[in-house]
Amino acid sequence: MRFWKKTICDLKTQILLGDLALRALRTSHALTAIVTRPDLSGKTINNYVQVLREAIELAVTDKILVENPVVAVPTAKHQKEPPDPFTREEMERICAEIQEKHPGQVANLVETWFWSGLRTSEIFGLQWDNVDLASSSVLVAEAVVRGLRKDRTKTHVARTVKFNSRSQAAVQRQRQHTQIAGGPVFQDPRYGTPWVDERAFRRSFWTPALKRLGIRYRRPYNMRHTYATMMLMAGMNPAFCAKQLGHSVEMFHKTYARWLDGDQNDLEMARLENSLMAPQRPQDKIKGT
């Protein structure tokens, strides 16, 4: 309930959801809390409601409540944020800037991130035990989510990711910093501790670098999108790309349709344009026109 401890107005009375007795909670309380937070995205609202719904469901299971009032809260509509990858030129500038300002562990992290397509939780959870430089690959089987280490990925399916020369070289350089100690491959060099979430990285390294370069801000997660689009533009098999990113082929096609279909779409439109520019033959004319 603390997660939902937001001040809301109900008949001009200040109500704190977290201070409500469990049996006093009504669907209208949750709905009012949502309405009074127009600053929240639909996705964030759904995340909050899901946490509250599951918490109250425990009370139903324990027979403290007869029914769950949060079940009736509708799912908020939201549009998933589309991929917004960096261009190859932007990526190279970012890598060079980080290398100049923060050589060593931070530069190795960014280079690996750009050239492996790992999720944020996966690269923070990467363990030396799962790295095989001899075969240029890594087993992605763990993740760090909100500071908690989990023995599974977002999709609950472990996968083997092949290194290319850039990611291989970055991980090779990282060996001198953390391999002897074992455990996480990447650490925050300021404290010698594992990365627990993205905020510290963004605040201290990522955001300042993009500002110095004058590059439009995008979340670090878009390094993953950058790698996906680079693979596609290199003509790689979409099924292989999907496997590397930990997507189903269907999800991969849905997420990166713009890059999958781009060249083909241009070819198809070019055929139409060519037909429009060709002179019309007499036999093609419709009689009576």
**Interval 199-225 mean pLDDT:** 96
User: In the prediction, which pLDDT does 184 show?
Assistant: 94
The three-state secondary structure class of 72 is helix
Select the more confidently predicted residue: 50 or 230.
230
pTM to 2 decimal places: 0.69
Q: Tell me the per-residue pLDDT of 30-59, one tens digit each, with 9 for 90 and over.
A: 888 888 877 777 778 888 888 888 888 888
Most distant CA atoms of the chain, gap in Å: 86
Q: Are the C-beta atoms of residues 47 and 37 closer than 8 Å to each other?
A: no
Q: Where are the alpha helices (DSSP H) in the chain?
A: 27-35, 42-61, 88-101, 105-114, 120-124, 165-178, 198-201, 207-213, 222-233, 238-245, 249-255, 257-277
- List, by residue range, all CATH 1.10.443.10 domains of the chain: 88-245
Rg of the Cα atoms in the chain: 25
User: In the prediction, which pLDDT does 1 show?
Assistant: 45
Taking the mean position of all CA atoms in its chain, how far away is CA 31? 28
Q: Tell me the per-residue pLDDT of 116-174, one tens digit each, with 9 for 90 and over.
A: 999 999 999 999 999 999 999 999 987 777 667 766 666 667 899 999 999 999 999 99
Taking the mean position of all CA atoms in its chain, how far away is CA 74? 25
Q: Tell me the per-residue pLDDT of 90-113, one tens digit each, with 9 for 90 and over.
A: 999 999 999 999 999 999 999 999
Q: Are the C-beta atoms of residues 17 and 25 closer than 8 Å to each other?
A: yes
Cα separations (Å) of 130 from 121, 122, 256? 15, 12, 28
Q: Note the CATH number of domain 88-245.
A: 1.10.443.10
